[in-house]
Structures are given as C-alpha cells and as structure tokens.
Amino acid sequence: MHADRWLERWLLLVAERVETQPILELGCGSGIDTSTLEAAGHRVVAVDLSEDSIAKARVRAPPAGVLLCRLNSTNDHHFGASGHPEIEPNYYLVDGQQKRFFSKAAVQELFATGWCVLHLEERVVHRYAIPKAVWEVVLEKAG
C-alpha cells in the first residue's frame, strides 16, 4: 500500500483560509488525514458515519471557511461503481452498504449553492490495495 499524501499540497491554502478556526473532517476513517492536519498545527474535529457525531460537530465547528473533500467517482469500479445492485442512478448497495458515486456534473450540482469551487479534479489514488477513483474538491464558503 502506498502513502497517500494528498493533503500536503493544500496545507498552505488551508493555513491561509482557516487561521484559527477548527477544521471539520467528515469521514475520517482511521485518522490518516486527521494526523496530517494536526501535524501541520491545525485543530481538527474528525467524525465518521454516525449522525450523532455529525450533529455534535455542527455545534462545535459550524462548517465555514474551506472544505476539502474526496467523493467516490462514477469511474471507481474497483470499489462499487459497477457490478452491484443499483438503488438509483449512481447509488449502489455495495456489500450491504449504500454508496453514492459522483460524476463531474453531480459534484458541481452538489456544491452549486453557497460554495465557490477552488479546485475540482478527478484523480486515481493509491491509498488502498487497489487503485480508487475519486473527485478531489476544494471549496470555499461563498460570502
């Protein structure tokens, strides 16, 4: 498995935009990105999957400033974008879990209101044993 150091190229932008605000990390998994952000001196509120945790995170750190995220790409065939029962377009039941996959147009639609897109790029990452296709998105809350 290769190290996935995707956040490193965004740390300067994050430092410029968030100043002393905490960073809200949604879908933190095992904390790889959390540790990168903390090592760079940021306060991070990291949550994953639980609706209760997300509700608490909204109270502790309202999502203002910069949002960095990765979304499953419709080209992510290794991780469920094909070959699984389709619930609705680009939304599949993968090994008992519901997973949403995004096209470029779907990402743009998702963030069309209230966000300024600073960066939108489809990438293949090597964080897992097999390559994964994602949309890497950097947004700023519109003023």
Q: Which residues of 114-124 are buried (b: 16+ CB within 10 A; e: fewer)?
A: eeeeeeeebee
d(CA 44, CA 110): 24
Q: 9: exposed, middle or buried (C-beta count within 10 Å: 0-12, 13-18, 19+)? A: exposed
H or E element, residue 14: helix 11-18
pLDDT band at 137 (very low <50, low <70, confident <90, very high): very high
* Mean per-residue pLDDT, 111-127: 91
Residue 70, strand partner residues: 136
Question: Is domain 64-143 classified as CATH 3.40.50.150?
Answer: yes
Q: 94: exposed, middle or buried (C-beta count within 10 Å: 0-12, 13-18, 19+)? A: middle
d(CA 66, CA 91): 27
56 CB contacts (<8 Å, ≥6 apart)?
47
The model's pLDDT over 32-89, given as tens digits with 9 standing for 90+, comes to 788 888 888 888 887 776 566 555 545 544 576 678 888 999 999 999 999 999 999 9
The pLDDT > 90 percentage for the chain reads 40
14 CB contacts (<8 Å, ≥6 apart)?
23, 37, 40, 42, 66, 68
Greatest mean pLDDT range, 34-38, 107-111, 114-118, 119-123:
119-123
Report the pLDDT value the prediction gives residue 30, as an integer from 0 to 100: 73
Between 54 and 132, where is the model more confident? 132
pTM for this structure?
0.68
